[in-house]
């Protein structure tokens, strides 16, 4: 005989989800988006939990599904706050969190706790704003559950190249959305991009750069960064095997002396898409692309002067690295992907 479950009345459900929705990440100090103080919320929560004996079992998993611990205030509270409260909070993160936002550049005293939580999360599927300050072993331990990972560069810092992922994608069988750094000055860039393009489980690939995408002289192109982004994305699509990417995106955190007219004002739709990004639009350009059902290359996002005309994907592979050359050279020493010093350290950390 099945155990009878207690359900909250509709009016209580309305109050619960209204309050939890208003507070965004609930009980984390300094991150609440509510119109009332955290003290008021903490007073409300215990009283509301008296509405029925199953309140905690019903609401807690929902409240902890998306958790942000990326602010100094939050981390300080978790480390130095009341033990009875903070220990429960950390235990619930480990047990329930599916989407975890951690600091991309934490203070040294926060690294240990951040790594501890990441390694032990039982349900986490997405990890936001992660950088190489967290040991690679932390990712390896949750790799089978991760579906989305962003190794985006810290402002003013170097992009994370992610060679450890390329060499160990078997540890991330469900990773369908990946964001990595892009270094156009690396002479192995196209081999690096080829390896990314051929990871079969990936559906979306985002590349982040802190420097100009092209070294072309200003008079060589009306928009050298646009032309370089197009060239790179076309190459990635051409090297793809099997099902095409849903989207390839390049985000450029850089401002060069523009030689083309300024972009038109951002539409309301674009504003909605980027409402969670507080970065100055004038210092960032985004280029997105895909191969549509007809096999045509499509690009959108930051625009170039004049009309953009699509091309057939079978004509995209140019004079960078022919597919046949890559396959024939795959067994030779010269064709191996060269791992940087940082990536070599990352690999040794993971294997350890």
Is residue 295 a contact partner of residue 312, using CB atoms and an 8 Å limit? yes
Any idea what DSSP says for residue 252? E
Confidence of residue 253 (pLDDT cuts 50, 70, 90): confident
pLDDT for residue 351: 37
pLDDT for residue 235: 94
C-alpha–C-alpha distance, residues 195 and 290, integer Å: 18
C-alpha–C-alpha distance, residues 211 and 231, integer Å: 16
Residue 86 gets the label, from left (phi > 0), alpha (psi -120 to 50) or beta, of alpha
Mean pLDDT of the region 279-284: 54
Phi and psi, residue 226, nearest 5°: -65, -45
Is residue 130 a contact partner of residue 151, using CB atoms and an 8 Å limit? yes
Indicate whether 238 pLDDT > 90.
yes
pLDDT for residue 195: 86
pLDDT for residue 324: 32
pLDDT digits (tens, 9 = 90+) for 182-210: 877 777 788 888 888 988 889 999 998 87
Is residue 128 a contact partner of residue 101, using CB atoms and an 8 Å limit? yes
Lowest mean pLDDT among 2-6, 144-148, 211-215: 2-6
C-alpha–C-alpha distance, residues 48 and 55, integer Å: 8
What is the rounded end-to-end Cα distance, in angstroms, of the chain?
Answer: 49
Relative to beta strand 297-301, strand 284-291 is antiparallel
Any idea what DSSP says for residue 173? T
- Per-position DSSP letters for 259-290, written without gaps between them: -SPPPPPPPHHHHHHTTT--S-GGGEEEEEEE
pLDDT digits (tens, 9 = 90+) for 72-110: 888 888 888 888 888 888 998 888 888 888 876 778 888
The residue among 308, 319, 310, 315 whose CA lies nearest residue 290 is 310
C-alpha–C-alpha distance, residues 108 and 106, integer Å: 6
pLDDT digits (tens, 9 = 90+) for 299-348: 998 887 543 334 434 444 443 433 333 333 333 333 333 434 554 444 34
153/97: higher pLDDT: 97
Domain map (residue ranges) of the chain: 7-63, 64-131, 135-258+281-352
């Amino acid at each position: 005989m099945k155990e009878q479950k207690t359900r909250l009345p509709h009016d209580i459900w309305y109050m619960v989800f209204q309050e939890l929705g208003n507070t965004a990440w609930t009980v984390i100090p300094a991150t609440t988006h509510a119109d009332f103080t955290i003290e008021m919320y903490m007073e409300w929560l215990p009283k509301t939990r008296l509405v029925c004996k199953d309140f905690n079992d019903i609401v807690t998993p929902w409240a902890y599904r998306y958790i942000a611990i990326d602010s100094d205030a939050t981390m300080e509270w978790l480390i130095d706050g009341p033990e009875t409260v903070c220990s429960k909070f950390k235990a619930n993160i480990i047990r329930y969190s599916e989407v975890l936002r951690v600091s991309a550049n934490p203070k040294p005293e926060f690294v240990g706790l951040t790594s501890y939580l990441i390694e032990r999360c039982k349900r986490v599927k997405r990890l936001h704003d992660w950088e190489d300050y967290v040991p690679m072993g932390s990712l390896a331990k949750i790799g089978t559950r991760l579906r989305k990972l962003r190794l985006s560069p810290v402002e003013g810092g170097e992009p994370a190249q992610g060679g450890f992922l390329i060499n160990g994608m078997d540890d991330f069988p469900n990773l369908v959305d990946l964001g990595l750094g892009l270094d156009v000055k690396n002479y192995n860039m196209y081999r690096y991009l080829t390896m990314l393009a051929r990871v079969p489980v990936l559906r979306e690939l985002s590349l982040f750069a802190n420097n100009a995408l092209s070294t072309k002289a200003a008079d060589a192109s009306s928009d050298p960064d646009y032309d370089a982004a197009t060239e790179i994305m076309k190459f990635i699509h051409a090297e793809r095997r099997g099902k095409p990417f849903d989207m390839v995106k390049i985000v450029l955190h850089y401002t060069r002396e523009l030689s083309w007219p300024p972009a038109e004002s951002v539409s309301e739709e674009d504003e909605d898409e980027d409402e969670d990004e507080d970065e100055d639009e004038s210092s960032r350009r985004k280029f997105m692309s895909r191969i549509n059902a007809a096999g045509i290359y499509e690009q959108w996002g930051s625009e170039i002067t004049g009309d953009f005309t699509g091309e057939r994907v079978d004509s995209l592979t140019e004079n960078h690295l022919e597919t046949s050359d890559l396959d024939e050279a795959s067994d030779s020493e010269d064709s191996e992907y060269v791992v940087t010093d940082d990536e070599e350290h990352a690999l040794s950390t993971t294997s350890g």
